[in-house]
Structures are given as C-alpha cells and as structure tokens.
C-alpha cells in the first residue's frame, strides 16, 4: 500500500535519494556497500530532512543497537522478519512521525505567540498599558517615515505631538507607590477616553 521511491545499495546513494525525493520514511539496512554504513547515512538523512528511519539488519548485538539508537530511529527490525512485522513497524513509525511533527508545529506556534507577547509587553508600560519609551520611539520613527514619504507641497505634513506633565507628582510618594500607580493609571484612562486609543 506504499509507494517505493527507490532502492539503493550504498549509504552515499541513500543520502542523495533522500535529499532528492524527501521520502516519508526510509527503511535502512546497516551493512551497505561503500565507505558509509547505514547508521552513518541515517545520521545525515535525519539531520538534513528530519526523515524517520527504520533499521532492518541481521545484526542485533548491543554495540550495533547502541550506535543505531544514537540516530533516534523509529524502529529496528532484526532479519529475518515477516511482512506483517514490516507493515506494522512502518505504520507505527509513520504515525509516530506524524504526531511528532504535529507536536513540533504546535510548540513552534506557542513559541511565536509567546515571543509576540513578550515583544508587545516590552513596548508597553506595565501600569498603564500605554506605549513606554521604546514603544513611543518606534511609533514616532514610523510616523517620521510616513511623513518623509509624503511628496513636498502636499497639505497635512504636520506631526502633532502632545507633551503632558503631572505637576507636583512627587508629593504622592508620601501616600505610597500604589497611590502613585493609581493616579497614573487614572490619568491614562482619562487620556484614552478624551483623545482616543491612538
């Protein structure tokens, strides 16, 4: 029920075919012709394409199995084996790889979301959720870039800038830091309600 893309007898050829076809699964013998054995070839294939490998070998000794385990294979069949064992091993390996790939995608998406959240938080004041100094610099630079893109002579080439200062703010320190935070939050709310979110 599966399509066999190619059958090769050397490790070098196995690497080349895997790079060319990018198969869903590689069935790898350990004893191959040429200088590269199946385990070394599997290291190259797994590293380059993240293709799942199932070993098929007449060797089941500890040393060979330990070397093979270092490549994180999806299965290891000791010859002779029957077609049913091969079919089950292939199906299990493909399903495991599908689940691993899905988990990696989910993890990658979570990481991207977390990075975006961190980037957003790094540009916002934790108390007011308004842009902090870095966020304001980025925003102002964006406005300057838009401003410089407007052709000369066009109307509306003004960048309004409002600078607001709270007089005698230091007097609030006597009431504690939470009181200071509360006043700043309230001023931010009034500004947003009056001027708008932008």
How does the average pLDDT of the chain come out, rounded? Answer: 87
Mean pLDDT along residues 144-164: 74
The predicted-structure confidence for 61-112, as pLDDT tens digits, reads as follows 889 889 999 888 999 999 998 889 999 999 999 999 999 888 888 998 999 9
Confidence of residue 159 (pLDDT cuts 50, 70, 90): confident
More confident site: 157 or 189: 189
At residue 174, does pLDDT exceed 80? yes
CA gyration radius, the chain: 31
Ranking 10-19, 40-49, 124-133 by mean pLDDT, the lowest is: 40-49
At residue 186, does pLDDT exceed 90? yes
Mean pLDDT along residues 152-175: 78
């Amino acid at each position: 029920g599966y399509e066999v893309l190619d059958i090769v007898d050397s490790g070098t050829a196995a690497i080349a075919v895997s790079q060319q076809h990018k198969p869903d699964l590689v069935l790898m013998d350990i004893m191959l012709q040429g200088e590269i054995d199946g385990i070394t070839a599997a290291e190259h294939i797994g590293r380059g394409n993240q293709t799942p490998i199932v070993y098929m070998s007449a060797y089941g000794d500890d040393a060979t199995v330990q070397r093979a385990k270092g490549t994180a294979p999806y299965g290891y069949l000791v010859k002779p084996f029957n077609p049913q064992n091969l079919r089950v091993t292939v199906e299990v390996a493909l399903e495991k790889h599908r689940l691993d790939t899905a988990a990696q995608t989910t993890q990658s998406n979570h990481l991207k979301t977390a990075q975006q959240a961190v980037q957003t938080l790094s540009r916002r004041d934790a108390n007011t959720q308004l842009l902090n100094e870095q966020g304001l610099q980025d925003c102002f630079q964006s406005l300057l870039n838009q401003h410089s893109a407007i052709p000369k002579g066009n109307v509306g080439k003004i960048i309004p800038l409002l600078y607001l200062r709270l007089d005698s703010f230091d007097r609030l320190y006597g009431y504690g830091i939470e009181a200071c935070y509360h006043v700043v939050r309230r001023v931010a709310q009034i500004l947003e309600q009056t001027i708008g979110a932008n």
